[in-house]
Each structure stands twice: as structure tokens, then as C-alpha cells.
Amino acid sequence: MESVRQSKVARLIQKDMAELLRAESKNLFGGAFITVTVVRVTPDLGLAKIYLSIMGTKDKEVTLKAVKSNGVVLRKKLGMMVGKQLRIVPELNYYIDDSLDYAMRIEELLKKS
């Protein structure tokens, strides 16, 4: 079960990371549309798992690798944004959120039957 502090930190990171990715998308990721869908923070607030929905690109894995390779820059910029609220910016791990693709696949299968 997630504590109140964890959920507050997760919402803060989600909001600011979404804004950061929107601002940096054209420069770093070739204009791909990246949305932060979910952020999960560990109880010690040392690690944040960020789930991204990537659209506007043919290969999502390449875009995810670009996000991961720019992870140090993104964490530093996030730290400047949340520096007054958080003492330590958690380590950031990025994952592709495929729940939308999964839902579309289920819907497609239900239409066939």
C-alpha cells in the first residue's frame, strides 16, 4: 500500500516530468509525443518508476532508449524543478506503458467474435 508521502511525490514527479518531456521532446526525441501515464515511487523515495506512453514515432523502443540515454540530463532538470519540494531527487527508471495497446488488442479480439 502506498503512503501519502509516496503518492504526493509520485504526483509531483509525474506533473513536472510531463512538462519537461513536452518541452524537450523536439530537441531530444525528434518530436515524439511522450506522455507520463504512471509514476510509482519506492517507500524510501529513492527510486521512481516512470511509465511512458509514446506516440508519433514508428519505433517506441528507439525513443525509450533516447529517453534513457538522456536520463542524467532529465534528472538534473527535474531536480531544478522540484528542488524546493524534495531534498533528494529519486533515481529515475523509464518503462513503456503498453496498457493502451493492450486495451486496443482486447477490443479488436472482442469485435472478431
Name the residue range of residue 18's domain.
Answer: 4-112
Please check the confidence at residue 28 and state whether its pLDDT lies above 90. Answer: no
What confidence tens digit (pLDDT) does each residue in 85-102 have?
Answer: 988 999 999 999 887 778
Helices then strands, each counted (H, E), the chain: 4, 3
Please check the confidence at residue 39 and state whether its pLDDT lies above 90. Answer: yes
The enclosing domain of 10 has a CATH number of 3.30.300.20
Helix (H, G, I), strand (E, B) or coil at 86: coil
CA distances from 37 to 14, 73, 94, 108 (A): 8, 21, 11, 23
Please check the confidence at residue 79 and state whether its pLDDT lies above 90. Answer: yes
In the chain, how many domains are there? 1
